[in-house]
Structure 1
């Protein structure tokens, strides 16, 4: 149930290797679409140079000694560009491995090392285990600029009271009408469901993956049954991704203006937007809020003498490592290649490719495909750097964050369903 039935790292057979599409002809996953305008512009310029040389009486070429000088400098620029981009990609994968290992270690330590003698303590332990997985999922959404808690892979990991407090704190105060914010949001979501609003394609698929019946687990002899968190239905606006204010901000202003735009935004729209994605109202991002919840649980268990000092120190150090991982990923995200370097590299690429037709002018019209091939190669290296320098998105070349978080969720389910929680004596 929790193991993948497909072997990812296997050697393809002869028949599969022959009939599969070769990498040289693939477009999906390549940077051809991104660099095509640049290559076409260089091809057009080379064509104009060839036509002008053919129509004019005098030769308009340049000596071939110019190209080697530019080649050395351009090669150094491209090497630095590609190496720095791949370093960011590799660092992102390394940090995610550290975070994933930290979640696993804290999950195992809490599940087996923290004493729980009654049903309430068992449920608290179960809630913290979900918080740990939610930390990884919330980090993924945070790195992608997706704010709020209304995501199918996140909402089932968070208890309802936490979600309500999060939305309430984002709104600041209750909206008009005297209805409490959480109740109003729940009513609006129900209205959207009844009026035929559905999840977007990505949310629908993800929601189906995370929807399941509640199960129970008996935590050994004498231990109470642990119920899994209830599955929640998450709705998204049909034209706006969850956690986005962009659509509504482009239509009207929620803060009001001299034209009376705020009056045109009714209570229904304000609450629905806020429920879909609280953003700037929070000074503390969701992953750090979850870490505070987990840390508070660890301290409370130490005060209650349910965990020994060595285990408590291990939990604290591992949680600190997880926070360090979040900081490292923020550094990768908000520290791109300097703009001046990117501009100079692009200018150098165009300068080099525009000089090539003049140095290859003796090839006449045959130099057009040669210049195009060289431009495709050079702009492709630059395009790969742009593609992988931010490895936290949805592109095929980005890190498989969805699969990493899904693996953690499956491991959490396996621990809850299959491994009995030990009840060590109090220290």
Structure 2
């Protein structure tokens, strides 16, 4: 029998102690349950009125397959679009990590250390700045401005730059209300460092081109992250989809009560739970950079 202990940093869908069927944390149940209860209460009222009084409020069930087909298409598109954004965010982070690792290797191995400790210190500073790029990107995507984050400040402190018009990070006013695109600014410092080493003949041209290529990849990833963050699903589509799902769920009791009697109540509960749940899942993973249970674990990625 294996005594292997699961590594929390390695994704394993079977490592949970409880089956997914009964899990509450990480599910959309807290968001779905209130809406589901409202629809179910309507089903209870419809059943009582239709079956216990002389008032008949049932309608033909021909509406179910027509609207159900439309709702299915809309929900499928919504969920697929949201998951594409989620997966694109994860893929871009992996591309960014590859670029950081390649750039780190080139800086550490291929840049000469003619000045001894001075060059070595600059190398370590540049590598810290690369790590700082990932951490700064995490905070930038979470719209957390400032330079005083505990995991960021040690990586970008005491940075000097030869770029005109740019202050070292430690000279910036942390209380300033100006929102800096800190990851982009870090790439400017790195570009200045690489250019300085090339001018001093401490790195050859092919390696310089390789480092610039990795730097361009970092900027490209940052831009793609911004596209995901700032280009949500069109509001009109989200509103119309939500309205369509609610119309379908609210009309179900009236269409089922004549044929299913009181069984309408659990059927409506299950149907609304599934449909409204899928609707909320799309909204849950649309922006994968936050702190929700289903968002990408950026803290772990930067660890």
TM-score using structure 2 length: 0.90
- Residue 5 and residue 107 in structure 1: after superposition, are their counterparts in 2 closer, same or farther (change >3 A)? farther
What corresponds to 2:250 in structure 1? 354
**Residue 121 of structure 1 aligns with which residue?**
119
Gaps of 5+ in 2: 161-166
Q: In structure 2, do the counterparts of structure 1 residues 291 and 69 end up closer, same or farther at CA, with 3 Å as the change threshold? A: same
**Given the alignment, which residue of 36, 57, 60 partners 2:57?**
60
| Distance in 2 between residues matched to 1:62 and 1:294, nearest whole Å | 68
1:301/1:167 Cα in 2 relative to 1: closer, same or farther (>3 Å)?
A: closer
CA contact (8 A) 1:149 1:155 kept: yes
User: 1:250-265 to 2 correspondence within 5 Å?
Assistant: none
Q: Please, what is the CA RMSD of the aligned residues? A: 2.1
Match status 1:397 vs 2:294 = yes
1:101 alignment partner in structure 2 = 98
Question: What is the deviation of 1:11?
Answer: 9.0
Which residue matches 1:409?
A: none
Tell me by how many angstroms 1:111 deviates. 0.3
* Corresponding residue SS for 2:302: helix
Assess if the C-alpha contact under 8 Å between 1:107 and 1:132 holds in 2: yes
Match of 2:184 in 1: 288
Kept in 1: contact 2:137–2:222 (CA 8 A) = yes
Q: For structure 1, which segment, 384-393 or 54-63, has the greater mean C-alpha deviation from structure 2 after superposition?
A: 54-63
Count of residues paired in the alignment = 290
Task: State which of 130, 133, 136 in structure 1 corresponds to 2:131.
Answer: 133
SS at match of 2:18: coil
Aligned to 2:164: none
**Residues 68 and 43 (structure 1), Cα distance of their counterparts in 2 relative to 1, 3 Å cut:** same
* TM-score for both structures, normalised by structure 1: 0.65
Structure 1 residues 293 and 5, CA gap change in structure 2 (3 angstroms): farther
Cα deviation digits, residues 9-35 of structure 1 (max 9, x gap): 6696xxx88xx3111000011001111
Query: 1:368–1:167: structure 2 CA closer, same or farther, 3 Å change rule?
Result: farther
Partner of residue 383 from structure 1, selected from 268, 280, 287: 280
Distance 2:93 2:36 in 1: 36
Q: Distance in 2 between matches of 1:48 and 1:167?
A: 65
- Residue 157 of structure 1 aligns to a residue whose secondary structure is helix
Distance 2:261 2:6 in 1: 57
C-alpha distance in structure 1 between counterparts of 2:249 and 2:77, whole Å: 19
State the partner residue of 1:90. 87
Distance across 2 between alignment mates of 1:378 and 1:348? 11
Three-state SS of the structure 2 residue aligned to 1:399 is coil
- What are the ranges of 5 or more consecutive residues in structure 1 without an aligned counterpart? 172-273, 407-427
Per the alignment, residue 157 of structure 1 pairs with: 155
Q: How does 1:18-417 map to 2 (within 5 A)?
A: 20-117=17-114, 118-160=116-158, 165-166=168-169, 168-170=171-173, 274=175, 278=176, 280-282=177-179, 284-362=180-258, 363-406=260-303
